[in-house]
Chains A and B, each alone.
Chain A
Amino acid sequence: MGETVLKMEGIDFSFDHQTVLEGVDLEIQKGDFLALVGPNGSGKSTLLKLALGALKPDRGKVSLFGVPLRRFRDWSRIGYVSQKANSFNRDFPATVREVVASGLYGKLGLFRRMKKEDWKRVEEAIKQVGLESLSRRNIGKLSGGQQQRAFIARALVSDPEFLILDEPTVGVDTRSVDEFYRLLAHLHRKKGMSLLLVTHDIGVVTTYVNRIACLNRRLFFHGDTDEFVGREKEVFTAAYGHPVQVVEHAH
Chain B
Amino acid sequence: MIEMILHYGFMQRALAAGVIIGVVSPIVGLFLVVRRLSLIADALAHVTLSGVAAGLLLQKQFPAFQALNPMVSGMVFSLTASVFVERLRRLYRSYQELAIPVILSGGIGLGVVLISAADGFNVDVAGYLFGSILAVGESELWVIIGTGVLAGLVICFFYKELFALSFDEESAVLSGIPRRLVHLLFSLVVALVITASIRVVGILLVSGLITLPVAASLQIATSFRQALWLSVLFAQISVLSGLAAAFYFDWASGGTIVLVSVLILLAVAGGKRLIRPGSGKTGAA
Contacts and interface: CB of A to CB of B under 8 A. Distances in A.
Interface string B151-187: 0000001101101101110111111111000000000
A92 B223 CA distance: 9
Interface in A74-109: 75-76, 78, 80, 82, 84-85, 88-95, 97-99, 101-103, 105-108
Nearest to B217: A93
Contacts of B164: 102, 105-106
A95 B157 contact: no
A54 B177 contact: no
A105 B223 contact: no
B224 interface: yes
Given A105-B164, A110-B157, A140-B284, A82 B226 contact: no
B175 A82 contact: no
Given A91-B282, A102-B163, A106-B176, A82 B171 contact: yes
B175 A76 contact: yes
Interface in A45-97: 52, 54, 73, 75-76, 78, 80, 82, 84-85, 88-95, 97
B282 A102 contact: no
B223 A108 contact: no
Contact of B175 (A107, A111, A138): A107
A102 B283 contact: no
A30 to B, nearest CB: 21
B222 interface: yes
B229 to A, nearest CB: 11
Nearest to B221: A93
A141 interface: yes
Contacts of B221: 93
Which of B163, B166, B223, B226 has most A Cβ within 10 Å?
A: B223
Contact of B224 (A54, A78, A94, A113): A94
A136 interface: yes
Contacts of A107: 175-176
A127 interface: no
B227 interface: yes
B223 A95 contact: yes
Contacts of B226: 93
A114 interface: yes
B174 A114 contact: no
Interface string B23-61: 000000000001000000000000000000000000000
B285 interface: yes
B257 interface: no
A136 B223 contact: yes
Interface size for chain A: under 10, 10 to 19, 20 to 34, or 35 or more residues? 35 or more
A158 B171 contact: no
Contacts of A140: 282-284
A44 interface: no
Nearest to A106: B175
Contacts of B282: 91, 140
A98 B174 contact: no
Nearest to B225: A98
A167 to B, nearest CB: 14
B243 interface: no
A93 B218 contact: yes
A137 interface: yes
B285 A141 contact: yes
A154 interface: yes
B160 A89 contact: no
Interface in B220-252: 221-227
A111 B153 CA distance: 11
B227 A93 contact: yes
Contacts of A141: 284-285
B163 A106 contact: no
A110 B182 CA distance: 10
Interface in B267-285: 282-285
A131 to B, nearest CB: 15
A85 B169 CA distance: 11
Enumerate the 3 nearest inter-chain pairs by beta-carbon distance, A residue then B residue, closest first. A106-B175, A106-B176, A93-B227
9 contacts: A75-B175, A91-B283, A94-B163, A103-B171, A105-B160, A106-B164, A106-B176, A137-B222, A140-B283
